[in-house]
Amino acid sequence: MSSAWSREWPAPRRVASAAAVLVMLAPPFYLDGYWLLIGILAMSAAVGAIGLNLLVGSAGQLSLAHGFFIAVGAYTYCFAAGESEGVGGGVDVVGLNLPPLVAAVVAIGAAGLAGLLFSPVASRIRGIYLGLASLALVVLGQHVLFNAATVTGGFNGRPVPDLTVSGFELSGDDPALNLLQVPFGERERMWYVALACLCGASLFAVRLLAGRPGRALALVRDNEIAAAAMGIPVARHKRAVFVLSSLYAGLAGVLLALAFHRVVPEYFGLALSVDYLAMVVIGGLGSVFGSVVGAAVVTALPLLLSRYSSQLPLLAQPGESGVDAGVAARFLYGAVVVALLLSEPGGLVAVVTRLRRRPTPPPPRPPQQPTPRPGSAKDLATKGEAT
């Protein structure tokens, strides 16, 4: 795989990626909590978008159940790491009180197990049929989240325990920590947790796509009959990529739960799955970097519109009737999706690549004097003068 890695991810691109990671280490020292929260949510969503892009962009398997697997990761973490207690409304929730790091691993594994249970269906159908079949998981998940109150907390949801390692809170502010005279609270610490998970998820996906599994998935996406004729186990690859996508979704669910500090069922509906589809389409199908770009656009846009809604026309203020920031954001990136599908189906990454590779026009050539043809009037006149 090393030769494929070098070929698909050349040295200049690796240097640029390393430089980008180094730049991403600096924001907690300069930005306030609001901008850090946007970055944390964007990086957490990018992890899930990479997993969905492996399924949709690289394997050609449409899924509308990504929000369900994200919910499995988020709620399993709360159940595994939480304690049994009473919450508002007299509902008692139960928890296993496992170490948070172990609970995170259990949550990711639970999402992968849910994907494994559904993978036989994903290996037999594809396209819109798989999309409709996966939609049933979202409906089932919403019913369970609202009614299994002892585990999920019902309509009120349940709090999210902090992620701790040896007593040090990675998603909290205990104990107090100062680096270079900058207090590192919960958002500064979560920034680096989300960044580390995003780097690991991106690196694994890039190496996967650069090797034989990635080429096999691309062939399965383009022509299943040709892939089977070449000896590729099509059904097994479909099941494997569906499970892998579910594992990514589980990790994203844990990160989003830690960022929100509370999980509620309304967040994990069909709209969340549609948002993730918009991320991979806007960024670019089959592109890991495109998944990150698409996640940043879809996540940050409603938050920025909400922050500056008082300065933007035609946007309703919180509590007023009309088009609020969330609805306006969906209109905007919906229009972006339509524009990209009509002009550049490869997404924003393909647009940038095309602009970078656009050839410069050659310099204008100086005008040349026409060469007289033999037997022309000028030649005859010259011959007459000579005689």
Give 244-254 pLDDT, tens digit per residue. Answer: 999 999 999 99
Confidence at 267, pLDDT banded by 50, 70, 90: very high
The pLDDT assigned to 346 comes to 81
| pTM beyond 0.85 | yes
**CB under 8 Å to 234, separation ≥6 — which residues?**
123, 220, 224, 227, 228
pLDDT value of residue 251:
97
Q: What is the mean pLDDT of the chain?
A: 85
The pLDDT of residue 1 = 44
Residue 280 pLDDT > 90: yes
Using pLDDT thresholds of 50, 70 and 90, give the confidence band for residue 202: very high
Query: 241, 195, 199: which is closest to 216 by C-alpha?
Result: 241
pLDDT in tens, 55-87: 999 998 999 999 999 999 999 999 999 988 765
Asked whether residue 99 carries a pLDDT value surpassing 80, the answer given is: yes
336-370 tens-digit pLDDT: 888 887 887 788 888 877 777 766 566 666 666 66
Q: What is the dihedral of CA 211, 215, 217, 219, to 10 degrees?
A: -170
Instruction: Give Cα separations from 209 to 59, 203, 226 (angstroms).
Output: 10, 10, 19
| pLDDT at site 351 | 82
Q: Is the pLDDT of residue 4 over 50?
A: no
Give the other-Cβ count within 10 Å of 149's Cβ. Answer: 17
Burial (CB < 10 A; 0-12, 13-18, 19+), residue 359, is exposed
Tens-digit pLDDT profile for residues 296-323: 999 998 888 888 877 777 777 666 666 7
Query: Per mean pLDDT, which range of 2-6, 103-107, 193-197, 375-379 is the poorest?
Result: 2-6
Per-residue confidence band for 201, with pLDDT thresholds at 50, 70 and 90: very high
Cis check for the bond before 175: say yes or no (omega within 30 of 0). Answer: yes
Structure confidence at residue 345 (pLDDT): 77
Q: How do the domains of the chain map onto residue ranges?
A: 2-269
Report which of 236, 100, 76, 59 is spatially closest to residue 158, judged by C-alpha positions.
76
Q: pLDDT tens digit string along 129-150?
A: 998 999 999 999 999 999 998 9
Does the pLDDT at position 227 exceed 50? yes
Give yes or no for residue 161 having a pLDDT over 90: yes
